[in-house]
Structure 1
């Protein structure tokens, strides 16, 4: 499986046009692009528009940052989100109003799941505002409130600004970018239409750095003392790691804590691959009832959780209700030990202080060892829907993962791919996988957006330098199927598997799980039944390779073909029974 074609679609730029651009003054747009390049952003996803034309024109000719044209706003914004998760910062350029509002869902997901994305736009300029006021003109793409974009984005960003002049633009841009890389969340910047093209001094060569907050010494001391009392008294402590550790670059510190304490550890679904999934301390991912049995048993038996950087969503209601008092929780906003809350203590300082305690205390590291990984074909075999046991060549959710994970493992490809998932039955089944590389499992596990996975593929591949390995459902793929065109246009050899059962299966589980029982009397609700698509024709139309597989034999044959170098994305329709209900989803539905 070749990864040599990680980019590119390059715009044809003539030598004369380039010389003309080089003769132009350095602009506000050039300033932002230079700062982005310094922060290792080498691609900006974009939807063009007249208001934002000065920025998009600057991007077209800017050396070292490539414009990645997307086919719609969700495609562009999902890609920028995944790029931010893999590269450390992403950027998307959008038209005023119609584009920014369309992309809002994706940016909200980035906000919730801690992905730093710079949303770049423009709005009616000074002259337009004067004319609009004088003659009561409603400008295109405007609601009439010219601040509406900024106001809306202020709820899903850590900073949202509109520049009416180039004066002070450099400082404003720097502060905005520092906010993004400090908080690991999106920011929004718009300029009056003409401002992106106005002259601006170039930035210094010094790269912007995140702000480093300092802990209150007494609060830190008290938090560590209370946490240590709880941890040292525990008989079966465990580390429960989350996505904040990964986003804030603390994975190395987490590994040191695991080594010094000897604690077993697990992760949330969103935090999966916060570390390489190797070693003898990783018990597997904890995805509540969807987890494999020994993970559920160990979590239930644990009497103290050192919970680091973990976002507790409603997927973990059963856990939080039963284990709240047993948690030592450290996030970027708060430290909690049992029922005691400590403000003004940073997660990094707290982790470092605990590390010193473990290293200085006799009896650590503990000699505990995680249970062995389930022996193949587990955990997939026992979780596959038993209704299909007499049809061994029929593909089910679990059989798809059984064979695709074996293919990846046997061919030493787990280090060469980055997986993307929206919310779907496949996501919960996939959390049972072992052996993945650090930061190679990208999901919408908290925001829970159907369709994220396909739009994220281009950003994940460009950001990581690894081949995107995407698993979607029919419904999720239908949301943003045009993303296949973006992959083809940019020569990205991503693989999109569509687990095709013709229904919103994950929705039906929570509406009426009896619908999955055999017999015509057990029917899916009409609103959960999807239209039938010709996926092979769709792949051809978008410039991708296309395959449909209906049996295990056909699936394995296509997996083998994926080892052949390609400059195109591949769409694989994986046909499964409509009523296939994986054990992971059955357990979740029964909670």
Structure 2
């Protein structure tokens, strides 16, 4: 079977569920863009810049299982690199495509624009390579094998890949396989699968306090539904890292809370650390999800699931696909009985409905319970690093809420473009973004793309005149933590004069309650600006700020002058 290289790439992307490619046009990718415009079932979404496009592709991938980014050589690739690195840090499968100079020009080392004019066409791939699992350039001779290798790796490892496409090859015809692209992982070695299952079930039968500890890879590798089924069948209590927030229900009857070392939900650190059967999914502890490295998990009790291996208290089983292993466990694990459900937690207390004080000024202590009361089951909640994520962290979100943030990479400004990508990928779900004014100013122009695509999110902007999280680390009164105040809720009309997005502003709990009532009743998007004092912050930030300062600056740091 013959097709063009461009059509082959698009067919592969469609095969893994991608219907939008997000990026920025450039002369080296225009030929490929022509093919996108002529292809059914996939379209190009132009972002305002390449960094935002990378963030949007990340948000898209969290909904669809993979996202696609398109840039041009050099200036585009490097502009997107921060977003690609974030996808790497957060284990998000993004297929990054970059139009490259024509193949003959790179082979003969011609000096061209968007390069360093030194004839070196390896440097861009070398710059991107440390932040991707595959970084390669296609040619007519390797297009099929290289693209398929990159795509399989992206899906298997849950990491971004980067593929340069020379501008003069996309319309060339090549021979391609007749068989459709398969996203299935290889089958497990039968003996290793059986041995791993038997060993885990043996330890489970001996356990007195089994617990599942959730982190990002639970979601990334598709274990969520399987764990839900295990919990329902065997009544296994579960907890989460802050970096695994709301992957499983925070209102389920077996939910214990958030494990964060010494900063854990009260009583939880001891419970987790003395569990004799602790299921984990490759947790990655950094200072913000470990209570500043006060976590202490015993390897002798951990059953860790990677995507292609299991580590049972130090005994490592390879050659298995872990989803198959969990299916075997789910089939064989005994159902819970009243006598076997040891130490099962009581059902969490119901989340009380918030009662606003109409004349009270907004403050973080009461803001977040009021906002959680507004949320519905199955909403998509996107929380910017800083006050939004810290404020929402202790709140138990409704059943089925998908929570998107960037707890490891933490690049501020990520969430507005991520909102664009997420809503493109899941337009049927209500999206609510919580973002600070400082973060918003980094990527504000992507609001125009959200409006151009006629999406209808609810954007909640916390206006506290600057970088509150930085103020609590250092420089509470310093000018370097100030930013220019904008008329934020006028921006929808600035970016799109005929927009249907409705703007609101609130300084009191009563004004916020009225705004939320109007937003809930409207089919349109909303931009809600909340005014809070610059020095007000969620309770967690009062601890996080000084802890970060001590960690960053040491005992001779400026806080101790």
Confirm or deny a common fold (TM above 0.5): yes
| Alignment partner of 1:94 is 2:56 | no
Q: 2:419 is matched with which residue: 428, 438, 457?
A: 457
Give the conservation status (yes or no) of the 8 Å contact 2:239–2:257: yes
Residues 289 and 486 of structure 1: CA distance in aligned 2, closer, same or farther (over 3 Å):
farther
Q: 2:214 is matched with which residue: 241, 247, 254?
A: 241
> What is the aligned partner in structure 2 of residue 574 from structure 1?
530
RMSD value over aligned CA atoms?
A: 3.3
Unaligned runs of 5+ in 2: 548-561
Deviations 1:479-528 (A, max 9, x none): 1111101100100001221111122222333x24xx7xxxxxxx434332
What is the alpha-carbon distance in structure 2 between the residues aligned to residue 100 and residue 374 of structure 1?
49
| Alignment partner of 1:468 is 2:441 | no
Q: 2:195 is matched with which residue: 199, 215, 221?
A: 221
Q: Which has the higher contact order (CA 8 A, sep 6+)?
A: 1
Q: 1:151 is matched with which residue: 109, 126, 136?
A: 126
Runs of 4+ in 1 over 6 A off after TM superposition: 360-364, 389-392
Cα deviation, residue 316, structure 1? 3.3
Residues 98 and 266 of structure 1: CA distance in aligned 2, closer, same or farther (over 3 Å):
same
What is the alpha-carbon distance in structure 2 between the residues aligned to residue 100 and residue 461 of structure 1?
24
Give the conservation status (yes or no) of the 8 Å contact 1:288–1:315: no
> What is the aligned partner in structure 2 of residue 186 from structure 1?
160
Residues 375 and 434 of structure 1: CA distance in aligned 2, closer, same or farther (over 3 Å):
same
What is the alpha-carbon distance in structure 2 between the residues aligned to residue 228 and residue 156 of structure 1?
38
| Alignment partner of 1:536 is 2:536 | no
What is the alpha-carbon distance in structure 1 between the residues aligned to residue 264 and residue 416 of structure 2?
25
Give the conservation status (yes or no) of the 8 Å contact 1:421–1:452: no
Give the conservation status (yes or no) of the 8 Å contact 2:192–2:319: no
Cα deviation, residue 49, structure 1? 0.3
| Alignment partner of 1:126 is 2:89 | no
Q: 2:183 is matched with which residue: 194, 209, 214?
A: 209
| Alignment partner of 1:400 is 2:367 | yes
> What is the aligned partner in structure 2 of residue 527 from structure 1?
480
What is the alpha-carbon distance in structure 2 between the residues aligned to residue 256 and residue 530 of structure 1?
48
Q: 1:550 is matched with which residue: 491, 507, 511?
A: 507
| Alignment partner of 1:359 is 2:359 | no
Higher mean displacement: 359-368 or 96-105: 359-368
Give the conservation status (yes or no) of the 8 Å contact 2:234–2:335: no
> What is the aligned partner in structure 2 of residue 37 from structure 1?
14
SS in 2 for 1:196: coil
> What is the aligned partner in structure 2 of residue 265 from structure 1?
238
| Alignment partner of 1:482 is 2:445 | yes
What is the alpha-carbon distance in structure 1 between the residues aligned to residue 306 and residue 106 of structure 2?
44
What is the alpha-carbon distance in structure 2 between the residues aligned to residue 572 and residue 406 of structure 1?
16
Unaligned runs of 5+ in 1: 1-24, 382-388, 516-522
Give the conservation status (yes or no) of the 8 Å contact 2:369–2:395: no
Deviations 1:282-315 (A, max 9, x none): 2334455666546567546756532234333332
| Alignment partner of 1:561 is 2:518 | yes
Residues 397 and 237 of structure 1: CA distance in aligned 2, closer, same or farther (over 3 Å):
same
| Alignment partner of 1:79 is 2:80 | no
> What is the aligned partner in structure 2 of residue 14 from structure 1?
none
Residues 297 and 477 of structure 1: CA distance in aligned 2, closer, same or farther (over 3 Å):
farther
Q: 2:87 is matched with which residue: 110, 120, 126?
A: 110
Cα deviation, residue 275, structure 1? 3.0
Higher mean displacement: 484-493 or 348-357: 348-357
> What is the aligned partner in structure 2 of residue 312 from structure 1?
285
What is the alpha-carbon distance in structure 1 between the residues aligned to residue 167 and residue 349 of structure 2?
58
TM alignment of 1:317-396, pairs within 5 A: 317-318=290-291, 321-325=295-299, 326-332=301-307, 335-338=310-313, 346-348=321-323, 350-352=325-327, 354-355=329-330, 358-359=333-334, 365-366=340-341, 368-377=343-352, 393-396=360-363
The aligned length equals 538
What is the alpha-carbon distance in structure 1 between the residues aligned to residue 193 and residue 244 of structure 2?
27
Residues 502 and 230 of structure 1: CA distance in aligned 2, closer, same or farther (over 3 Å):
farther
> What is the aligned partner in structure 2 of residue 11 from structure 1?
none
Q: Could you state the TM-score of these two structures normalised by the residue count of structure 2?
A: 0.86
Give the conservation status (yes or no) of the 8 Å contact 2:57–2:94: yes
> What is the aligned partner in structure 2 of residue 274 from structure 1?
247
> What is the aligned partner in structure 2 of residue 256 from structure 1?
229
